[in-house]
Chain A
């Protein structure tokens, strides 16, 4: 039977992080950028939990993961609200077109 070790978790988390980062950088749509952020946060959560499971750190990691989930939820709520307002103002949510502060 294949033994699942710490490396596997970290590997998955790394892939997830990279995907998230890729999403953040490449997507134009603000919603998609938010979704990338979620991916990055979840990659971090996987790391926390994995270290909590395999390391001798007690339950701290899992608790922080819970905090992160809560934080992500709050963040999603606020960010989506901002995005809605942005949409109301600009009629689209493309991050590269919202550059009024530049000039």
Chain B
């Protein structure tokens, strides 16, 4: 299959969901069943994505397929030079695998929603939004430049906003939508500035061209600090989208949306967009930027995991677990374990969307109940959901034989190796700690929901297994959570195709801005396009020292992570299943810590006290200014105008009208006077004539 054909198919994949969106949004009211077209479109895109990946992998394993065209051409602008914007798509291993993930999960969610959203009055609109989201997400995945990335980035935000606030009759849903939109927008400002820095220097938005320029030693404004700044600013966009500390507050609230949406957007794909973006720009991140990224990731993972421990809402637990896992991926990018970040992004997308769909199935059967304290004993009622849930939970906890184990272990290993080489021990420490906590809270969720005795008998009696359209995606996703799809060796990701396919992105930043272990063996090596292409083939990781560290640390890191996961699971069983320790008494003992975690570290309150209150205070001050100064000026002008018009009115009334009336009165008076002469008697006239004659005589003679 020719390159061009593959690119054409990719374009079709990209545009099909948009077509579906337009179709459903415009004809949704007329044709009730039109959502089936949308589902068909999504399944078709998934099949096409499979085809593209297959041929890409077999025919062009080490080549990036690029299709680009000039979108806007301003030619020569005075003062700016040649200005033209290019749009285009790029198929490489990274976008290929992400293409698969997005279309797979999106189509499964489409199918699942048939059951979950049954009877909703805006059923078709829901599908239209899903289509819009898929289109935008594919834009992020396929783009080969920052411009289309930014456009799709914002479109994804819009779709997310529309879907979080889908049940906008509920105030909390509408508020959550706004919160998500505004919070992510905050990060996007940083991303925008970062793109501007790069564009100012390189006059292009294309990733490859920018990286090529950097590899030639051409830095923004000639300084490495600017490159670091650009990297951190771009990372801010990912902080917003991927809900990293300190902008993570929107994601738990986003669970107000329909549960399949949480599965698709707020756990599997959109929030992974930040990680994907970081993977895309990994090559241009300097050591300082990477360190910032890693630290933020570690902090986020830890904070979110501790919060997830105490939440009672089933979706909130999963939301914080998502944030925590995203923190893992960001941490992984930060420590240079690029492959594992992408790997974890993929496996997490699979099992986390599974978890959300599973929780959706539970919520659906409990008639909208989300509080785990009301559940319990659902194992017997919903066996399929239960077993799928077990698989996903084992995967996220990092138990061997599961996909999550491979990727998470890779991340922990990467951070461990990073620490041995650079001495930043807090990163792996937080990573391992979180691994244990993750197992604990996930099993707490399982035990509270499915085990034990039902706590709300009435709701329990009504509970039932979900329909086939809902369980079928669960089964598919749980199957994909098994290690065998990624590697034949359950403890070594290096043995699998994924590891080889994704490879490691070569960094292009100058030698002195890299971590020591990332420095090339031969500094004189000239980086060019060919070198970038070859890098994945030769599998040259940064340096042998990193590789050695990875190998040395493999066994200890692996055993430690398994040990911690099992420890977490055991704790969960002791606390919630066997009840050896009374949870309430334990809670009482660590009351301050418990409330701190239950209240989500008071982030919302903190932001409310500072940003929200600050904004309200500012608007109050502005209102005062408006009421007193601006309105004062306006009212003053009005009063002045009133006064002037009063004077003008008086002038009009007495002077102008007076003149007019006077002239009328004068002519009337004149008429009255002269009228007396016009007697109508000829004799009088004759007398006048005679009189006049006398006067004339007297005058002229």
Chain A residues proximal to chain B, CB less than 8 Å = 21, 24-26, 33, 95-96, 99, 101-102
Q: Which of A25, A95, A99, A101 has the most CB of B within 10 A?
A: A25
Closest to A103 in B: B680
Which of A25, A101, A102 is the one whose CB lies under 8 Å from B683?
Answer: A25
Residue of A nearest to B684 (CB): A25
Contact between chains at A99 and B683 (CB < 8 Å): no
Residues of B within 8 A of A95 (CB): 681-683
Flag if A102 contacts B680 (CB, 8 Å). Answer: yes
Q: Is the interface of A mostly helix, strand, loop or mixed?
A: helix
Q: Is B687 an interface residue (CB 8 A)?
A: yes
Residue B563 is within 8 A (CB to CB) of chain A in the complex = no
Residues of chain A within 8 A (CB-CB) of B681 are 95-96, 99
Q: CA separation between A102 and B686, bound complex, in Å? A: 17
Interface string of B21-65 (1 = CB under 8 A from A): 000000000000000000000000000000000000000000000
| Nearest chain B residue, comparing its CB with the CB of A24 | B686
A37 to B67 Cα, complex, angstroms: 124
| Alpha-carbon distance between A96 and B681 when the two chains are bound, in angstroms | 6
B687 and A101 contact, CB distance less than 8 A: no
Known A-B contacts: A95-B683, A101-B680. Give 8 more (CB < 8 A). A21-B686, A21-B690, A25-B686, A25-B690, A95-B681, A95-B682, A96-B683, A102-B680
Give the distance in Å from the alpha carbon of A8 to the alpha carbon of B680 in the complex. Answer: 38
The smallest C-beta distance from B129 to any residue of chain A, in angstroms, reads: 91
CB distance from B674 to the nearest CB of A (A): 15
Give the chain A neighbours of B686 by CB distance below 8 A.
21, 24-25
19 residue pairs of the A-B complex, CB under 8 angstroms, read A21-B686, A21-B690, A24-B683, A24-B686, A25-B683, A25-B686, A25-B687, A25-B690, A26-B683, A33-B683, A95-B681, A95-B682, A95-B683, A96-B681, A96-B683, A99-B680, A99-B681, A101-B680, A102-B680
Q: Which residues does chain A contribute within 8 Å of B683, judged by CB atoms?
A: 24-26, 33, 95-96
Size category, B interface: under 10
B678 to chain A: closest residue by CB: A102
For the complex, give the distance between the alpha carbons of A21 and B686 in Å. Answer: 9
C-alpha spacing A38/B565, complex, angstroms: 153
> B680 — which chain A residues lie within 8 A by C-beta?
99, 101-102
Bound-complex Cα distance A101 to B680 (A):
8
The 6 closest A-B pairs by CB, nearest first: A102-B680, A25-B683, A99-B680, A25-B687, A96-B681, A25-B686
Interface residues of B in 666-701 (CB under 8 A from A): 680-683, 686-687, 690
A1 to chain B, nearest CB (A): 35
> What B residues does A99 contact at CB under 8 A?
680-681
CA distance A102 to B680 in the complex (A): 6
Closest to B685 in A: A25
Considering the chains assembled together, what is the distance between the CA atoms of A33 and B690 in angstroms?
A: 16
CB-CB nearest in chain B for A99: B680
Report B-chain residues with C-beta under 8 Å of the C-beta of A26: 683
Residues of A within 8 A of B687 (CB): 25
Q: Measured between C-beta atoms, what is the minimum distance from B341 to chain A in Å?
A: 114
Minimum Cβ distance to chain B for residue A40 (Å)? 10
In the assembled complex, the Cα of A33 lies from the Cα of B684 at a distance in Å of 13
Give bound CA distance, A33 to B681, whole Å.
12
CA distance A73 to B680 in the complex (A): 27
**Chain B, 221-237, contact with A by CB distance < 8 Å: what is the 0/1 string?**
00000000000000000
Residues of chain A with a CB closer than 8 A to B690's CB: 21, 25
Distance from A95 Cβ to chain B, minimum over Cβ atoms (Å)? 7
CB contacts (< 8 Å) of A33 on chain B: these are 683
Chain B residue at minimal CB-CB distance from A96: B681
**Residue in chain B with minimal CB distance to A21:** B690
Min Cβ gap B343→A in Å is: 118
Closest A-chain residue to B682, C-beta based?
A95
Measured in the bound complex, the distance between the Cα atoms of B682 and A31 in whole Å is 14
**Cα distance, A96 to B687, chains bound together (Å):** 14
In chain B, what residue has the closest Cβ to A100? B680
Contact residues in B for A21 (Cβ distance below 8 Å) = 686, 690
Instruction: Specify which chain B residues have a CB less than 8 angstroms from the CB of A102 in the assembled complex.
Output: 680
**Shortest Cβ distance from residue A19 to the other chain B in the assembled complex, whole angstroms:** 13
Q: Which residues of A contact B682 (CB under 8 A)?
A: 95
By beta carbon, the residue of chain A nearest B680 is A102
* Chain B: CB-nearest residue to A33: B683
CA distance A102 to B676 in the complex (A): 12
**Docked complex Cα distance between A75 and B681 (Å):** 20
Q: How far apart are A71's CB and chain B's nearest CB, in angstroms?
A: 19
How far, in angstroms, from A7 to B393 measured CA to CA in the complex? 157
* Alpha-carbon distance A101/B682, docked complex (angstroms): 13
* CA distance in complex: A69, B263 (Å): 135
- Distance of A90 from chain B, by nearest CB (Å): 15
A33→B682 CA distance, assembly (Å)? 11
